């Protein structure tokens, strides 16, 4: 858990390109973008779909492409990765044209790469991200933020492939570019968080802690102290403290994350599962399994739903196995065996899927 990397920064294409076009689809689109800014993704989807229908009726192919791209962003935020990929690919097919369209294509390719990375499809992600990088270089967009986003995403792929040197260089350059971009964005805190994860993997714990704390500082300054993005970083700092035996500090971080997530408008099951597991882990380390058990029960319910997501399967199995052990130690062997069997079935299904997909 401690060494996971932050995948998502989503570059949402705005409505500025649409103002010179006929029809009212740009107004509908702007309504949708405003809902996205407020985190109201269901309402945003309704407006963007209305804009898409209007654009189609008025032969607004470019507007349609941007709307498909924005639907991808909405699905990505809701962790509906299959739908996000489909929407992004539709947008890409409709964006071959002139300079501003190529710019938009590069943005969508980068967002597609992030979705593929979240699904652990690293080879495909690398293809999309390298194409985005090639477009930005060839066309000289001078878009520092886009360059930073691409570098962050490439760094995530390198990290997962075990190429730590290339990952570190990508994150450092992403942090530098986002710092000088002059626009409000979360590329800097994501780059810092990813550097923290990389340093933690190397057991450079002081550097990891410094990177996480700096990322938290940047996020709070930009988005306040209750934004759900903060939970990602706070959780990572919590796991760092667990790994270094600082249980009291770890507990404070996971409790902070839990409070943020329970107040968030948009439920993030993956983050909630990780937070509950982290707080339970603190109690287990303190030999207080009575308090760990209800937290793991909640985490296990989420794990059962998340197990079908390739990027979450290993974590779901880990949660279920930990819950089973706590149940057994608490004198509930029947329920412990039932939960353990769930974990076995998920593990077996993963093994079967891998073997079947490898068959010629």
Question: Residue 89 in contact with residue 115, Cβ under 8 Å?
Answer: no
Mean pLDDT of 321-340: 97
pLDDT band at 226 (very low <50, low <70, confident <90, very high): confident
pLDDT band at 311 (very low <50, low <70, confident <90, very high): confident
Domains and CATH numbers, the chain: 1-141 (1.25.40.10), 143-223 (1.25.40.10), 256-360 (1.25.40)
Mean pLDDT of 84-92: 96
pLDDT band at 78 (very low <50, low <70, confident <90, very high): confident
Q: What is the pLDDT of residues 96-113, one digit of tens each?
A: 766 678 999 999 999 999
Helices (H), the chain: 25-37, 41-57, 61-77, 81-93, 99-118, 122-139, 144-160, 164-180, 187-201, 205-223, 229-243, 247-263, 269-285, 289-306, 313-329, 333-358
pLDDT at 8: 45
Q: Rg for the chain (alpha carbons), in Å? A: 21
pLDDT at 162 over 50: yes
CB-based contacts of 225, cutoff 8 Å, min separation 6: none
pLDDT at 214: 96
For 298-327, letters b (16+ CB in 10 Å) and e give bbbebbeebbebebbbebbbebbbbbbbbb
CB-based contacts of 132, cutoff 8 Å, min separation 6: 106, 107, 109, 110, 113, 146, 150
pLDDT at 266: 66
pLDDT at 354: 39
pLDDT at 189: 92
User: pLDDT above 90 covers what percent of the chain?
Assistant: 69
Dihedrals phi, psi of 224, to nearest 5 degrees: 90, 175
pLDDT band at 1 (very low <50, low <70, confident <90, very high): very low
Q: What is the pLDDT of residues 177-225, one digit of tens each?
A: 999 877 667 889 999 999 999 999 999 999 999 999 999 999 999 888 8
Q: What is the pLDDT of residues 259-294, one digit of tens each?
A: 999 988 667 899 999 999 999 999 999 999 999 999
State the average pLDDT for the chain.
Answer: 88
pLDDT at 353: 43
Least confident of 36-40, 234-238, 336-340, 355-359: 355-359
Question: Residue 168 in contact with residue 194, Cβ under 8 Å?
Answer: no
Q: How far is residue 230's CA from residue 216's CA, in Å, rounded to a whole number?
A: 7
Q: What is the pLDDT of residues 108-140, one digit of tens each?
A: 999 999 999 988 899 999 999 999 999 998 888
């Amino acid at each position: 858990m401690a060494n996971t990397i932050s995948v998502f920064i989503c570059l949402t294409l705005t409505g500025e390109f649409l103002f010179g076009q006929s029809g009212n689809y740009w107004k509908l689109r702007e309504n949708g973008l405003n809902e996205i800014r407020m985190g109201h993704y269901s309402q945003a989807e309704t407006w963007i779909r209305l804009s898409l229908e209007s654009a189609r009726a008025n032969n607004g192919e470019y507007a349609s492409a941007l709307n498909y791209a924005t639907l991808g962003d909405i699905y990505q935020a809701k962790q509906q990765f299959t739908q996000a990929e489909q929407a992004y690919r539709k947008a890409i097919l409709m964006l071959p044209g002139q300079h501003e369209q190529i710019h938009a294509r590069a943005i969508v390719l980068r967002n597609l790469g992030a979705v593929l990375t979240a699904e652990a499809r690293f080879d495909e992600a690398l293809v999309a991200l390298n194409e985005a990088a090639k477009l930005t270089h060839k066309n000289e967009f001078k878009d520092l933020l886009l360059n930073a986003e691409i570098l962050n995403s490439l760094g995530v792929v390198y990290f997962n492939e075990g190429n730590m040197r290339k990952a570190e260089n990508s994150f450092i350059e992403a942090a530098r570019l986002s710092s000088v971009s002059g626009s409000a964005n979360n590329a800097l805190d994501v780059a810092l968080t990813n550097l923290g994860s990389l340093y933690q993997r190397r057991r450079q714990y002081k550097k990891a802690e410094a990177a996480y704390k700096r990322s938290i500082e940047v996020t709070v300054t930009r988005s306040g102290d209750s934004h759900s993005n903060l939970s990602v970083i706070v959780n990572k700092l919590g796991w760092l403290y667990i790994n270094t035996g600082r249980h009291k500090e770890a507990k404070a971080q996971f409790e902070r994350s839990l409070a943020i997530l329970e107040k968030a408008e948009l439920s993030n099951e993956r983050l909630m599962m990780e937070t509950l597991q982290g707080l339970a882990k603190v109690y287990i380390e303190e030999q207080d399994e009575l308090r760990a058990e209800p937290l793991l029960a909640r985490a296990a319910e989420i794990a059962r739903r998340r197990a079908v997501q390739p990027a979450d399967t290993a974590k779901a199995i880990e949660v279920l196995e930990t819950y089973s052990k706590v149940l057994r130690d608490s004198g509930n062997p029947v329920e412990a065996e039932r939960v353990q069997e769930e974990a076995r079935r998920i593990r077996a299904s993963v093994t079967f899927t891998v073997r079947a997909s490898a068959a010629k």
